[in-house]
Amino acid sequence: MTDLKPDLRISVMASDADFIIVDKPAGLPSAPIKEGDTHNALSQIVELFPSAAGFYGKKRIEGGLVHRLDTATRGLLLAALTQNAFENFEKQQKNGNFIKYYFAYCDAYCAASSFSSAQPLPLYIESRFRPYGEGRKKVKPVFENAGKFDRKKAGQTLYRTEVLSVNMPRGDEKKARVLCRINRGFRHQVRAHLASIGLPVIGDVLYNPSYAGKTDARLLFFASALQFNHPVSGERLLYTLEDMPLPESAETL
């Protein structure tokens, strides 16, 4: 788990009259938990663009945040600056036009691994989810062959993670570099799906047994790119973390 540090700051990647994209550092929450909470990315966005708090988004306290990232995850975070832009982004998420890419560094040879370097890619992992574990802090992928209890407790929506590339370790390396894509997200979706095929993310205290109970683990999981239509012009846009560019083949897979 990444320690919360009060000096963590967002970096603005792009902005215009309708939206802002920031690079959220690991350790900084995306949104406030309660009124008056200012240690989060949204509060920093509002400092720069007050209109991000001037309308009703998913929750009143979340303002124009279009989506959220886990506190321990670094990456691109999008906020709308107008009600019309927010509603447009919501429609894009529902119709599959809002695409999120993630880079993860994973344990490649864990005992439960069902992934092989010979596995054809892209690989589609699709499931429903249900809350799981102590305090319901985790989620459990519920696949078609799951038991009756899991199927009963799971939500009805199917969520798909597309594994686009897996660079397996060579020589003395111990981690695989994995690129994933989703167009509809559930809490911890990509992390839980990767763990389900035996590629748990390094530093993941929830889904990687090697890090259970370790409070100083660094999560090697990054929201590396966002792709969507401009909410006014309709132009197709792609934003990536500068230090984690997408391979040229990613958009065509």
Q: What is the pLDDT of residue 57?
A: 72
What is the C-alpha to C-alpha distance for residues 192 and 124, in angstroms, rounded to an integer?
Answer: 14
- Asked if omega into 50 is within 30° of 0 (cis), the reply is no
Q: What is the pLDDT of residue 251?
A: 60
Each domain of the chain, given as residue ranges in start order, spans: 1-95, 102-211
Q: Which helix (H) or strand (E) holds 13?
A: strand 11-15
Q: What is the pLDDT of residue 168?
A: 81
Closest CA to 181 of 158, 162, 194, 166: 162
| Domain covering 1-95 assigned CATH 3.30.2350.10 in the classification | yes
Percent of the chain clearing pLDDT 90 (strictly above): 75
**CA distances (Å), origin 204, targets 33, 200, 216, 242:** 22, 7, 11, 24
* Class of 102-211 in CATH: alpha beta
Q: What is the pLDDT of residue 109?
A: 66
Asked if 150 and 130 touch (Cβ cutoff 8 Å), the reply is yes
The residue ranking higher by pLDDT, 72 or 136, is 72
Closest CA to 9 of 87, 110, 77: 77
* Average pLDDT for 218-246: 96
Asked if 228 and 98 touch (Cβ cutoff 8 Å), the reply is yes
**CA distances (Å), origin 180, targets 19, 88, 140:** 24, 24, 18
pLDDT tier, 55 (very low <50, low <70, confident <90, very high otherwise):
confident
Out of 37-46, 170-179, 226-235, pick the least confident: 170-179
Q: What is the pLDDT of residue 75?
A: 98
Q: What is the pLDDT of residue 2?
A: 45
* Average pLDDT for 195-218: 93
Q: What is the pTM of this model?
A: 0.91
